[in-house]
Structure 1
Amino acid sequence: MRDRFSRLTMLSASLVLALSISATHLRAESMPSGPTNQACGSPAAIDDGWEIAPPDSVGMDGAQLCTIATRLAQRSTTVHSVVVVRHGKLVFEQYFPGYDQPWGQPDGQSEFTATTKHDMRSASKSVASLLVGIAIDRKLIAGTDEPVLKFFPDYAAVKQPGWDAITLRHLLTMSSGLKWDEARAWTDPKNDEPHLGFEPDPLGYVLSRPVAAPPDVLWTYNGGGTDLLGNIIERASKTSLEAFAREALFQPLGITDVEWKTYPRNGKIAAAAGLRLRPRDAAKIGQLVLNRGQWNGRQIVSADWIAQSVSPRFQAIGLFGSTLFYGYQWWMGRSLAGDREIRWVGAFGWGGQRIFVVPELDLVMMTTAAQYGQPNEGVAAIDILSNIVIPSVRDAH
């Protein structure tokens, strides 16, 4: 999950991070937290398609949401944005300056606002899954049971035994059985993820990997499979992944300021990790899933695909203490809020990028952050969701 192609030395990063944490702490201490304070979470009025509403109008406690900055300061963590949506309305957003490692740009201190794009990192995988669903809806791809090798006849020479049984569904659920390891140190040559950016032909690298287990037997986190899915979309649609995404997904959602980065050494689209979005636009992705594929009454991706995508299919063994389930490039988990157990669906990206969809509360929350390589990355996001945002809901509808 550590899609880290823009990383500099950890020593310099640590020094800058320490400075940013201190600045965040000071800023949070001086920030008023009253519910009527316009600086505290009141969404900016920009023409991006969101209806804006105060928290109390959608059954949420604005004063409790205004404790988010203090909570982050207590955790001494670098979070860049928090966006909250309820009943389809944008009710809270807060942005924090701090250290960042943006893809293809120098590391350093950055300011973040409602109009600043941010790396989504591996949350890109969840968006890629939506694009696969749209391609299937449009009959560009017959279905998830299509063999992967059907789309890559030009790679027949590198095929390893067992590949004939691998389908798109196995790539979507990360159950292909490929020999693949992203859990090693970034500098370890046995870490497969860096090869996606460094190999002249990353698709050939993935397609030449040996099969360690039959499909549907072994769940292994695998960004290479997502890159294959991205290229399958390109081959089926006869256009680039970014162009297809803009036409089929982003334009219908009113998302105009978007990038999908390529690997700098080989120029190939980074389907698994390269998406950059404004946080408010990333929240639209969550709202689309919450609405079963609809946005403003328009069906962008079929409700059936959403249902398939967010159905638990595998225990995510080896990540996050194995407490999560995995669907079609989407995570499933739960929060304990008081005496209530609340289930959610999530898109996760390295460094603390999170999109949470909470169906039973009609709620979406997303965060961006710079917790790259930190032992507890993502903890701040789940803490805010479980201990502030969910408890701030004052009604059950």
Structure 2
Amino acid sequence: MRDRFSRLASLSASLVLALFVSTTHLRAESMSPGQTNQACGSPSSIDDGWETASPDSVGMDEAKLCTIAARLTQRATTVHSVVVIRHGKLVFEQYFAGYDQPWGQPDGQYEFTATTKHDMRSASKSVTSLLVGIAIDRKLIAGIDEPVLKFFPDYAAVKQAGWDAITLRHLLTMSSGFKWDEARDWTDPKNDEPHLVTEPDPLGYVLSRPVAAPPDTLWTYSGGNTELLGNIIERTSKTSLEAFAREVLFQPLGITDVEWKNYKNGKLAAAAGLRLRPRDAAKIGQLVLNRGQWNGRQIVSADWIAQSITPRFQAVGYFGGTLFYGYQWWMGRSLAGGKEIKWVAAFGWGGQRIFVVPELDLVMMTTTAQYGQPKEGLAAMDILSNIVIPSVRDAH
């Protein structure tokens, strides 16, 4: 993903390998409170709302899951966490020390445990989509076919031709059609994304973009779309996006240790600023898997979940064109045991991933530090497709 806000030159492959080999395996005697048994990934009990269980008790091969650390060593990949949920129970978690670029903190070596928050980066977009659904459920927003400009009458002076046709649906599906390019290098003056960080009025910047294609005809990945969605929630709820999220989503999920970071201009980063514990991020995946329910409580409507994870566009130009896009959620598939297994996911820059596998009643969450690497997210996909999915011994 291209939500890069503290980018430095990439470490050389040899340095990454050295850092990984020296820090991957934490010794059990030095584990801090909340850290798991690294040898077998047995979940900690930290009273965060998860019921824990052994992999064997939910139809998974524990020995296979315990090969994850060795697999990562073979690939010399800086992964910080792997969390696995099956049948609604936390069955595996493993954490690794390593290099990171955390938002607002120095780049460097960090240790990670079950109680350490991690940048979600663009996985924040998927959470913002859930918040849009909740706002619609609560009648704060009439629906996704509402015109975007209806919510921004104070920006009438910057309106460009074609914006009247853009609706919330188009923002959600990245098909709004306004000119936007964040696939360039961060320092390229033609990259639009840095303007979200540095502009005194980033909303004005987004709303003043010319329309390059009619809405619903061209898929273009754009943090600008998500920033507008976040601000629409703020304007309709009459509170900050973070406060709204805490009230309607995080508190019902039992998520208490959460941050939502601001850009340098002081504006909340709806598209990329969320920081969560990996176990809490996995709750987001479980919520989607349960069609909007958590512990029997309907937090977001089942219809919104169904609409959100319905493929709307081919994600052209991303990961070889094998992915589809819904309402700020990705859809793809893995090949395991000669069979295609479909999944839904939240993706964040650097390899942050929340995978939801409905067919197997499975959630997997990873945090990594593959920032700016050509094969970003490869480690998470490898673990999912070659270890976690194959470890399932049943299909129900």
- TM-score with structure 2 setting the length: 0.96
1:357 partner letter: V
Equivalence for 1:50: 50
1: distance between equivalents of 2:317 and 2:84? 30
2:388 partner letter: V
For residues 39-76 of structure 1, what are the alpha-carbon distances to aligned partners after superposition, in whole Å with 9 as ceiling and x for unaligned?
Answer: 32000111100000000000000000000001111111
Report the Cα offset of residue 18 of structure 1.
4.3
Report the Cα offset of residue 339 of structure 1.
1.3
Matches within 5 A, 1:6-85: 6-7=6-7, 9-10=8-9, 17-24=16-23, 39-85=39-85
1: distance between equivalents of 2:255 and 2:354? 16
Equivalence for 2:345: 346
Report the Cα offset of residue 10 of structure 1.
1.1
Report the Cα offset of residue 22 of structure 1.
2.4
1: distance between equivalents of 2:38 and 2:200? 51
Equivalence for 1:372: 371
1: distance between equivalents of 2:205 and 2:241? 19
Unaligned runs of 5+ in 1: 29-36
Report the Cα offset of residue 17 of structure 1.
3.5
Matches within 5 A, 1:1-397: 1-7=1-7, 9-10=8-9, 17-24=16-23, 39-264=39-264, 266-397=265-396
C-alpha contact 1:24 1:78 (8 A) present in aligned 2: no
1:318 partner letter: G
- Match of 1:51, SS state, is coil
1:260 partner letter: W
2:216 partner letter: D
2: distance between equivalents of 1:15 and 1:278? 29
For residues 325-376 of structure 1, what are the alpha-carbon distances to aligned partners after superposition, in whole Å with 9 as ceiling and x for unaligned?
Answer: 0000000000000111100000000000000000010000000000000111
1: distance between equivalents of 2:218 and 2:49? 42
2: distance between equivalents of 1:378 and 1:242? 27
1: distance between equivalents of 2:268 and 2:24? 37
For residues 169-193 of structure 1, what are the alpha-carbon distances to aligned partners after superposition, in whole Å with 9 as ceiling and x for unaligned?
Answer: 0000000011100111110000001
1: distance between equivalents of 2:323 and 2:38? 37
For residues 242-265 of structure 1, what are the alpha-carbon distances to aligned partners after superposition, in whole Å with 9 as ceiling and x for unaligned?
Answer: 00000000000000000000002x
C-alpha contact 2:99 2:108 (8 A) present in aligned 1: yes
1:39 partner letter: A
2: distance between equivalents of 1:150 and 1:238? 16
- Match of 1:280, SS state, is helix
2: distance between equivalents of 1:246 and 1:141? 19
- Match of 1:185, SS state, is coil
- Match of 2:122, SS state, is helix
2: distance between equivalents of 1:22 and 1:100? 15
2:322 partner letter: T
C-alpha contact 2:25 2:97 (8 A) present in aligned 1: no
C-alpha contact 1:6 1:105 (8 A) present in aligned 2: no
2:324 partner letter: F
Report the Cα offset of residue 16 of structure 1.
6.2
C-alpha contact 1:16 1:99 (8 A) present in aligned 2: no
For residues 72-127 of structure 1, what are the alpha-carbon distances to aligned partners after superposition, in whole Å with 9 as ceiling and x for unaligned?
Answer: 11111100000000000000000000000000111000000000000000000000
1: distance between equivalents of 2:312 and 2:347? 17
Report the Cα offset of residue 162 of structure 1.
0.2
C-alpha contact 2:38 2:95 (8 A) present in aligned 1: no
C-alpha contact 1:352 1:381 (8 A) present in aligned 2: yes
1: distance between equivalents of 2:245 and 2:10? 37
Report the Cα offset of residue 23 of structure 1.
1.7
1: distance between equivalents of 2:38 and 2:73? 20
C-alpha contact 2:55 2:61 (8 A) present in aligned 1: yes
2: distance between equivalents of 1:15 and 1:86? 36
C-alpha contact 1:128 1:226 (8 A) present in aligned 2: yes
2:137 partner letter: D
2:194 partner letter: P
2: distance between equivalents of 1:38 and 1:349? 25
Distance change (3 Å), C-alpha of 1:79 and 1:12:
closer
- Match of 1:195, SS state, is helix
Report the Cα offset of residue 21 of structure 1.
1.8
1: distance between equivalents of 2:299 and 2:225? 24
Report the Cα offset of residue 26 of structure 1.
6.4
C-alpha contact 1:314 1:325 (8 A) present in aligned 2: yes
1:22 partner letter: V
C-alpha contact 1:60 1:392 (8 A) present in aligned 2: yes
Cα RMSD (Å) of the superposition? Answer: 1.4
Report the Cα offset of residue 25 of structure 1.
5.7
2: distance between equivalents of 1:68 and 1:376? 19
- Counting matched residue pairs gives 387
